[in-house]
């Protein structure tokens, strides 16, 4: 599953990150979050919704990551969690 979670989803299932373009993978999501403005981030995550965690759960199918993104809903926390998850998956896949 490690390689699956790191791979790209079909373009039709990409995440349209406001002002940043289409995101097709967890590594791409991490890169976008690192550079997103507060307004761009809050377009997707606020007190009532978390589009990022929802996309990770429904499209990427990484339940563990989705759960972490739900309970740590700040941009800084999400960026750190994504970085950690990518490193963990790369290690499991034998890439690093």
Looking at residue 39, what is its pLDDT?
Answer: 97
69 domain-assigned? yes
Residue 88 CB contacts under 8 Å (≥ 6 apart), including other chains: none
Tens-place pLDDT, residues 8-56: 999 999 999 999 999 999 999 999 999 999 999 999 999 999 999 999 9
6 domain-assigned? no
1 domain-assigned? no
How many structural domains comprise the chain?
1
Whether the per-residue pLDDT at 76 is higher than 90: the answer is: yes
Task: Find the domain containing 73 and state its range.
Answer: 21-92
3 domain-assigned? no
Structure tokens at 17: 């990150």
- The percent helix, strand, coil of the chain (3-state, each to 5) is 60, 10, 30
In this prediction the pTM is: 0.93
Closest CA to 39 of 14, 19, 22, 53: 19
């Amino acid at each position: 599953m490690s390689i699956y979670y790191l791979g790209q989803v079909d373009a039709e299932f990409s995440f349209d990150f406001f002002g940043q373009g289409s995101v097709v993978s967890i590594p791409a999501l991490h890169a976008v979050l690192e550079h997103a403005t507060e307004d761009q981030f809050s377009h997707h995550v606020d007190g009532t919704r978390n589009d990022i965690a929802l996309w990770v759960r429904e499209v990427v199918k990484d339940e563990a990551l989705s759960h972490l993104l739900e309970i740590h809903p700040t941009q800084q926390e999400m960026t750190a969690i994504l970085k950690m998850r990518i490193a963990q998956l790369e290690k499991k896949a034998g890439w690093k």
